[in-house]
Amino acid sequence: MPKRRINEPIDADRTRVRTDLATRAEALPDRDAMWAWERFLTGEPEAAIPLGHVVVSSWQRSLALGVNPTGRAAPIAAQGDSILTLRHRNRDLIAASRDLFQRIADVFAGSNCMMLLTDPDGIVLEAVGDHRTLGQGERIHLVAGGHWREDVIGTNGIGTALATGQPAQVHATEHFCEGIKSWTCAAAPVREPGSGRILGVVDISGPPSTYQRGNLSLAVATARQIETALAERSGRERVRLLERCLQRMPMIGNAELLAIDRSGRIVYSNGKGALPGLGETLAGFDPDQPVERWFDRMPEPLRADGAFDPVVLDDRTVGAMIVVPARNRPAKLAAPPAGSEADASRSAFHHIIGASAAMLQATRRAEQLARHRVPVLIHGETGVGKELLARAMHGSLDFSAPFVVFNCGAASKDLIGAELFGHVKGAFTGATADGRPGRFELADGGTLCLDEIGELPLELQPLLLRALEEGVIYRLGDTTPRKVAVRLVAMTNRDLRDEVAAGRFRRDLFYRINVTSITVPPLRARSGDVDLLIEHFNASVAARHGVPPRRFGPALLAVLRAYHWPGNVRELRNLVESLLLAGESADVGIDEIPLDMRGGAADDAPASGRLVDIEAEAMHRAIEAAGGNISGAARLLGVSRSTLHRRLGRAGSH
Are the beta carbons of 55 and 28 closer than 8 angstroms?
A: yes
pLDDT of residue 333: 29
| pLDDT (mean) for 206-227 | 92
| Separation of alpha carbons 439 and 460, rounded Å | 14
Confidence label for 435 from pLDDT (cuts 50, 70 and 90) = confident
| pLDDT (mean) for 145-159 | 96
Q: Is the pLDDT of residue 491 over 70?
A: yes
pLDDT of residue 379: 93
pLDDT above 70: percentage of residues in the chain: 72
Query: Which segment, 163-167, 294-298, 433-437, 512-516, is predicted with the most confidence on average?
Result: 163-167
pLDDT of residue 519: 94
Choose the weakest-confidence range: 115-124, 146-155, 293-302, 539-548. 293-302
pLDDT of residue 266: 79
pLDDT of residue 596: 83
pLDDT in tens, 576-614: 998 998 888 889 988 889 888 886 433 444 444 444 555
- What stretches of 398-528 show up as alpha helix (H) in DSSP? 416-421, 439-442, 461-470, 496-501, 507-513
Buried b (16+ CB within 10 A) or exposed e, 48-59: ebeeebbbbbbb
pLDDT of residue 290: 56
Q: Minimal CA–CA distance to 375: which of 530, 550, 516?
A: 516
Are the beta carbons of 544 and 358 closer than 8 angstroms?
A: no
| Separation of alpha carbons 438 and 422, rounded Å | 4
| pLDDT (mean) for 472-477 | 86
Residue 164's Cβ-count burial label (10 Å; 0-12, 13-18, 19+) is middle
Alpha carbon distances (Å) from 67 to 50, 155, 624 = 21, 10, 71
Are the beta carbons of 404 and 248 closer than 8 angstroms?
A: no
| pLDDT (mean) for 112-118 | 95
pLDDT in tens, 441-471: 888 888 899 998 988 988 889 988 988 888 8
pLDDT of residue 335: 33
Contacts of 213 (CB under 8 A, 6+ apart): 26, 169
pLDDT of residue 531: 92
pLDDT in tens, 534-565: 999 998 888 888 888 999 998 899 999 999 99
User: Other CB atoms closer than 10 Å to residue 39's CB: what's the count?
Assistant: 21
| pLDDT (mean) for 393-415 | 75
| pLDDT (mean) for 216-230 | 94
